[in-house]
Structure formats: structure tokens, C-alpha cells
Amino acid sequence: MNSYAVTEKNSRARAIAEPKSPLRNDFQRDRDRIIHSAAFRRLMYKTQVFVNHEGDMFRTRLSHSLEVAQISRGISRSMEINEDLAETIALAHDLGHTPFGHAGQDALNHCMKNYGGFEHNLQSLRVVDLLEKRYANFDGLNLTFESREGILKHCSLKNARLLGELGQRFIEKKQTSLEAQVVDLSDAIAYNMHDLDDGYRSNILDLDSLNEIEFFSECHDEVVSSGLIKDQQIVVNETIRLMTYRLIDDVTKTSLELIKTNKISDIKDVRNFGKNLVQFSEPLDIKLKGCQKKLRESLYTHNRIEMMSKKAHSVIESLFNYYINKTELVPDNYLIADNIERSVADYIAGMTDRFALKIFETIEK
Ligand code: MG
């Protein structure tokens, strides 16, 4: 591994010391704890963009997280940094997501507006630090500092002050590890690329509208110019595959170049560098933004998705009001927050789409 990678040696370790495993390094252990967690299993039934029951072919939070992990590992391997840590952060990065995707989070944030708000990023940390109950000696998963730090991608200054050592970097304006930075951009690569794919297969985005994206159309022309592929779905697959490759290749080369020119030699240099070292080149950054713009205009705001968002709002609000008045129905393991509103939010955030809908239907009866 390169000298600027996070290692067991330079790690700030776990909050509660544990004996070393003879078989796995600390970051592999973190990863395994995440995979064994209940919150991770529930990602299978949580919306990414399309609600779970819209169809079995679309991405869920779980398949999204696996794609992010896959991309993060590939980039980390090429950069010779800590692949295990990157994988861990990627698998955990969306653990705090509510049912029904971003609409669910907005609704829960609205319900919690007088009680400290709700933010999925902070919630992911809450899941691994507190809400998972599996081990005799501690609540949560007792992950290493670096895994926890990577999960907390952003955070308000107000919340940072409550987080002690982990919040320090937001106050001091320092950077996170390269591994966490890799996951952040891998997340962007994964969701942009798979949303184009899901958008196409859902018939919301047709080939003409995909070709309005400059990056797509360039890669599409390259794929078509071979003259070999007749099937349109395969052409789209190959185009997205080529785009994904270009993004991964670009971020790897650009970041390694930045590290070299700025003579970054250890994790301290990474943290003290004024901005992220893992970056796309400017041309690719512009191209990716072009994809984002199109997805915003044509997919995320499409009728079918908006209808789901509206429904999500009423489901979450109604669950919230229901449990606030019937706190005896909130399972004991959630009744650990400072106030009942937070306990209810923790419980609702942990629900899968289908479980939330099932409860909603019984309340409405
Ligand atoms: Mg994500």
C-alpha cells in the first residue's frame, strides 16, 4: 500500500479496545460486522429511486451499496490504498436511509424539524454507533475511527460539535481519508450510471433523451461505430459500461497525479490538504454533471417518481404521528434516545418500504 493509505498502524482504532483477530485485519472485521447487521439486510427492501414493488429489476439500496463497494475497491486497488476500508465505508454509507429514498428522508426531516431534524448521513453513523444491537460488550458495531469517519460524509457544524473527535474535522476544516474520498466519488459514479440504466429500462428515458446527454452520446457513437451490435438494450449497456470505465479511469489518474504533484506522503498530508485529493478531471466533472442534470430533469421529477414521493410523505408523516401517540408500540431497543421523537424517527428510519406500507395500511383502516 502507498504511504498515504490508512493502515492498522496509523489507525485511530476502535472506541472500545478489542483483541486483534488472528484471521482478519481491523477493516475487514468492520466490513463483516456491517454485512452481518440487520440494517444492512434491510437495504434490500429500501428504495433507491424506484420503490421496491415497482419491479424486481431496479436498483435497491442494497444493490446500489454493492455497486459502490465494487467501484470503490477497484479505484482503491489501482491507487494502492486501503481497499478493505473503502469497501467497508461503501457498504455502510447508506445504512441510515429511510424507506422511500430521498422523499422519505425529507418527510422525516420535516416531522423532526422541532427536534433536531433528520439527516441520513448522520443516521448511518447512529446505526453503526448505537442502534445495532448484536454484541455483549457494546452497543453498535464498535467500528474503527476511520470507518466511522468515512460514513459521516458531511455534517452541520452544530452536529459536529456534539460528535467529539469525529466531528473535529468539520470544525477544523480538515479532509477525510483518501479511502473515504474514493467512496464519495464512487457513489456518484454508481448512482448516475445505474439511474441512467434504470431510467432506460423503466421506459422513462428513451434512447433519444439519453442521447441529449453529451457524455452518453459520445460513448454511444463509439459503441455504435463498431457496427457489431444490433440489440438496442445491449448498445445502452455497452454505452453505460464505457462511461463507467471512463469515469473510473479518470478519477484514478487525476487523483494519483494530484497526490504526486502535491508531494503527499502520509495521512497527515491528506488531512491537511485544503481540499479533496480524489477528484475527477475538469472535463469529466462537467460530463458527469451533464448526466446529473438530465436525471434531475427527466427521471427524478418524472410523474411516476413524484407520485411515489407524495405517497412517501403521507406514509412517513402518518407513521410519525401514530407512534408519537402510541409510544408503547415502539420496540424497546429504539427507546434509547434522549427524547421520544428521536426514538420514533430511529424506528421509522430503520423500516423497509414494505413494512412501512403495511403499518400505514393498518393505521388507515
Ligand atoms: Mg449512495
pLDDT in tens, 71-125: 999 999 999 999 999 999 999 999 999 999 889 999 999 999 999 999 999 999 9
The C-alpha cell that represents 126 in the structure block:
447512529
Q: How far is the CA of 15 from the centre of ligand 1 (A)?
A: 26
Q: Is the pLDDT of residue 241 over 70?
A: yes
CATH architecture of 26-364: Orthogonal Bundle (1.10)
Q: How far is the CA of 190 from the centre of ligand 1 (A)?
A: 8
Strands (E), 277-364: none
Q: How far is the CA of 65 from the centre of ligand 1 (A)?
A: 6
365 confidence band (pLDDT: 50, 70, 90) = confident
Q: Which of 187, 212, 186 is nearest to 199 (CA)?
A: 212
Contact of 75 with 182, CB cutoff 8 Å:
yes
Q: Which residues surround ligand 1, an ion (CB under 5 A)?
A: 94, 187
> Across the chain, which distance is largest between two alpha carbons, in Å?
65
Contact of 10 with 267, CB cutoff 8 Å:
yes
Q: How far is the CA of 61 from the centre of ligand 1 (A)?
A: 8
What's the rounded Cα separation, in Å, for the pair 216 and 84?
A: 32
What's the rounded Cα separation, in Å, for the pair 101 and 46?
A: 7
pLDDT in tens, 21-46: 999 999 999 999 999 999 999 999 98
